[in-house]
Structure 1
Amino acid sequence: MAKSDIHPQWYPEAKVYCNGEVVMTVGSTKPELHVDVWSGNHPFYTGTQKIIDTEGRVERFMRKYGMMETKQPSANESKSNQQ
C-alpha cells in the first residue's frame, strides 16, 4: 500500500501547451506542462526531417550494410553489351 502524505498531487487531466496552444492532455504531477517540441511539430514525426550528409557517409553506410539497392542493368542494356 502507498503511504499517505508522501506522494505528490496527481493531475490526471494535465494540459500540455506548445506555443501557447493546448496540444494534448496527459496525467502528470503538474497541472500544466509547457513544451517547445511535441510529436505534432517535430520533423521526424511530420516527415520533414532532412538528413545532412557530409562526404557521402549515409550512402557509404547503406552500401556497406546492403541497405541500398544496387542499380541492375535492364534487359535492353544487357543485350546491347553482348553484341
Structure 2
Amino acid sequence: MPKKGIHPKWISNTRISCDDKLICLINSTKPNLNIDIWLGNHPFYTNSQKIIDTEGRVEKFLKKYQLDFNN
C-alpha cells in the first residue's frame, strides 16, 4: 500500500494541446500539457521536410565516402 501524503495528485483527463488544439486526453499529475511538435505538425510526417545543403556539406560527404547517388 502506498504511503499517504507523499504522492502527487493524480488528475484524470489531462488535456494535451498543440497550438491551442486538443490532441488527446491522458492521466497525469498536471492539469494541462502544451507541446510544440507532435505527429500532426512534424515536418517529417507531413512531407514538408526540406533538406538544406549549407556550404556544400552533402557534396563533401559524398566525396569523402566516394558515393554517387546520381545514377
TM-score, normalised with respect to structure 2: 0.67
Aligned pair count? Answer: 71
1:26-61: CA deviation from partner (whole Å, max 9, x where unpaired): 332112112232221121232211122112212432
Q: Please say which structure displays the higher CA radius of gyration.
A: 1
Let me know the Cα RMSD of the aligned residues.
2.5
- SS of the residue corresponding to residue 13 of structure 1 reads strand
Bigger RCO (CA 8 Å, 6+ sep): 2
SS of 2:16's equivalent? strand
Whichever residue aligns with residue 50 of structure 2, its letter is K
Write 1 or 2 for the structure with the bigger share of helix: 1
Q: Which runs of 5+ in 2 are unaligned?
A: none
SS in 1 for 2:45: helix
Q: Which amino acid aligns with 2:54?
A: T
Query: % of aligned pairs identical?
Result: 49
TM-aligned CA deviation for residue 66 of structure 1? 6.2
Q: Does 17-26 or 54-63 show the bigger shift? A: 54-63
Q: Indicate whether 1:69 and 2:65 are aligned.
A: no
